[in-house]
């Protein structure tokens, strides 16, 4: 796939060593942890992305708790969006946030980087221990199935999601009005279109 690895995914050395997913959290929060786990397992042949679906493959179990949770969540084809959403809320990812908070690397309910957290992240970026996607997310991947699959499974920004809901309601209303004028549209057709918009918007 052509992803640029700096060295095999491993912990950053030093007295305050962070593992790959702790660094990912500093770089982009829970979403970056999830994205990185998906990409890592695909790279190692343990996960298969097929359109909007994801499935664990092979018999070699990953070792990291986040990867184990992801691998166990999709023994059969499942919606990538639902799998990744569940992983973002999982105890494994929340434990990472709590560990970083306990070390004063993130603070507050939104887990913002502290000065120490920013310093640790800069040190990790200067090192040679982690793949580029840990820092830059799926945007650093070459265009292809993996990049599109990871991006499409991400949640919508809250503002965009509300806009699409309003658009769907407007389409429903116009469909109801149109059915009276013999246009052949009905509320079910409008609802179906709104639903398809909601699903397709995950591709961005």
Phi, psi of 5 (to 5 degrees): -95, 140
Distance CA 155, CA 9 (A): 26
pLDDT of amino acid 201:
38
pLDDT band at 157 (very low <50, low <70, confident <90, very high): low
Output b/e per residue, 34-58; b: 16+ Cβ within 10 A: bbbbbbbbbbeebbbbeebbbebee
Q: What is the pLDDT of residues 10-49, one digit of tens each?
A: 444 444 689 999 999 999 999 999 999 999 999 999 999 9
Q: Of residues 136 and 192, which shows the higher confidence score? A: 136
Distance CA 49, CA 197 (A): 22
pLDDT of amino acid 204:
40
Task: Indicate whether 62 pLDDT > 90.
Answer: yes
* Token pair recorded at residue 72: 């166990």
* Token pair recorded at residue 116: 């120490």
pLDDT band at 82 (very low <50, low <70, confident <90, very high): very high
Distance CA 176, CA 110 (A): 42
Distance CA 85, CA 66 (A): 13
Strands 78-79 and 106-107: unpaired
Residue 94 CA neighbour count, 13 Å, CB half: 7
Q: What is the pLDDT of residues 67-77, one digit of tens each?
A: 999 999 999 99
Tell whether pTM > 0.85.
Answer: no
């Amino acid at each position: 796939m052509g992803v640029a690895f700096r060295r095999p995914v491993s912990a950053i050395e030093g007295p305050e060593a962070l593992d790959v997913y702790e660094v990912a959290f500093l770089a982009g929060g829970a979403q970056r942890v999830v994205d990185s786990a998906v990409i890592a397992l695909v790279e190692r042949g343990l996960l298969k992305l097929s359109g909007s679906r994801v499935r664990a493959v092979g018999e070699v179990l990953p070792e990291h708790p986040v990867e184990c949770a992801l691998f166990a969540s999709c023994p059969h084809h499942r919606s990538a969006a639902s799998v990744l959403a569940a992983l973002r809320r999982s105890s494994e990812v929340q434990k990472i946030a709590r560990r970083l908070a306990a070390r004063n690397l993130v603070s507050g309910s939104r887990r913002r980087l502290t000065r120490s957290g920013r310093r640790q992240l800069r040190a990790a970026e200067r090192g040679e221990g982690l793949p580029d996607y840990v820092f830059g997310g799926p945007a650093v991947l070459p265009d292809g199935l993996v990049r599109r699959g990871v991006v499409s499974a991400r949640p919508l920004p809250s503002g965009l999601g509300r806009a699409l809901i309003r658009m769907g309601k407007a389409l429903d209303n116009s469909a109801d009005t149109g059915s009276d004028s013999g246009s052949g549209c009905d509320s079910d057709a409008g609802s179906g279109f709104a639903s398809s918009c909601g699903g397709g918007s995950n591709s961005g």
